[in-house]
Structure 1
Amino acid sequence: MPHPNPDAMAFLLSRRSRPAKTLRAPAPDRAALEPILTAAARSPDHGKLEPWRFIVLERGALHRLAGLVEERGPDLGQDADQIAKAASAYRDSPLAVVVVEIQKSSEKIPQIEMTYSAGAVCLALLNAALASGWGANWLSGWASHDRAFVEQGLGLSADERVAGIIHIGTETSAPPERPRPDLDTITEWVTE
């Protein structure tokens, strides 16, 4: 017999990311962030490999990374608007958590499952931040896919990549609801 959790279901049915550009200080301090990280680390992890880790970016680190975005953008052919938008995502954020995917060697666990696990961690982190009352948004962007940026700016090794960057802060305005998928068009029921 199931034991429903109506509050959790109501949250999941109404959850809504908050645009990162609307998030401001204060952000969660370390004590407030630890249970959010703990909840995210409870994500599915086939083989118990922990193919991910966290990098918490506080204000000083975010400003440093904004500068690196501005340095790397021209080398990558980004136009001035794209560079400014990407830099402001770092510069204006009160706090961000980078979920780093780590490809580990395993004879039993396919690498794609490690990628799925890292994605599950991103969503769990986003939802845990929202459930804790913070505004949060999952972003990545062109800079997070640039090897020079992630190695120089975040210290990632060759077997690591950014799965997502979860920006967390105080919500300054609630976004309007957006259209959601039509369940009938994306669901197939198989009976035999």
Structure 2
Amino acid sequence: MSDIIEFLRTRRSVKPRDMSGPCPSAEEIDIILTIGARVPDHGKITPWRFIVFEGDARARAGDVIARVYASKNPSAPKEEVEIEKRQLMEAPLVIGVVSCIKQHPSVPSWEQVLSAGASAMNIVTAVTALGYGANWLTGWFAYDRDVLDGLGLKSDERFAGFIHIGTPTKPSKDRPRPALSDIVTRF
């Protein structure tokens, strides 16, 4: 079996709480984002973009998330709001993949959303290939319009996900995978 096939066959996510520094360098981030942009894109319309949250930007984003959470949950204990504030703080780097639907006569929005998803997976794969850990997550705040506005998304944009990136601090356990007999039919 080729090294690439074995790599893809055994790839697994790393929990953000099981990551620390170092994270990818600026040069490696450019490589990761270049690979993230190398996905099927019917019509060449680039229906995605990336937001890099590193350093203090993770805390500033957490402030937006916590502020929205507190406003929508006024009786929430302070500890709960603090948890929301740390949503992007466990991993040293987070890349937000933004789905940007563009009006096009022959490219349905569904294909554009799938392209953004493919971009997120390419980022996860590139990060892992560089020797780092990655985890593609969303959470309530990925779907909350007030958070999206606070993080600078346009009204027609939404998050495909947040890719948490860092150096694994311990081996990642594999999860049960579906048996092919349960998920494959032949027409």
- 1:50-129 aligned at under 5 Å gives the runs 50-77=46-73, 80=77, 83-129=81-127
5+ unaligned residues in a row in structure 2: which ranges?
Answer: none
Larger deviation, residues 181-190 vs 89-98: 89-98
Shift of residue 39, structure 1, vs aligned partner: 1.1
Match of 2:164 in 1: 167
Larger deviation, residues 102-111 vs 87-96: 87-96
Of 31, 42, 48, the match for 1:35: 31
Match of 1:131 in 2: 129
Change (3 A) 1:70 1:11: same
User: C-alpha separation between the residues in 1 aligned to 2:84 and 2:12?
Assistant: 22
Percent sequence identity over aligned pairs: 38
Over the aligned positions, Cα root-mean-square deviation in angstroms equals 1.7
- 1:137-156 aligned at under 5 Å gives the runs 137-152=135-150, 154-156=151-153
Shift of residue 25, structure 1, vs aligned partner: 1.4
User: C-alpha separation between the residues in 1 aligned to 2:27 and 2:157?
Assistant: 27
Letter in 2 for 1:175: S
Shift of residue 150, structure 1, vs aligned partner: 1.5
TM-score (norm 1): 0.90
CA contact (8 A) 2:124 2:136 kept: yes
5+ unaligned residues in a row in structure 1: which ranges?
Answer: none
CA contact (8 A) 1:96 1:166 kept: yes
Runs of 4 or more, structure 1, over 2 Å off, are 74-89
Change (3 A) 1:171 1:182: same
User: C-alpha separation between the residues in 2 aligned to 1:132 and 1:182?
Assistant: 29
TM-score (norm 2): 0.92
Letter in 1 for 2:108: P
User: C-alpha separation between the residues in 2 aligned to 1:102 and 1:114?
Assistant: 8
Shift of residue 83, structure 1, vs aligned partner: 4.4
Letter in 1 for 2:32: I
1:12 and 2:12 aligned: no
Shift of residue 88, structure 1, vs aligned partner: 2.4
Of 167, 181, 184, the match for 2:178: 181
Shift of residue 91, structure 1, vs aligned partner: 2.2
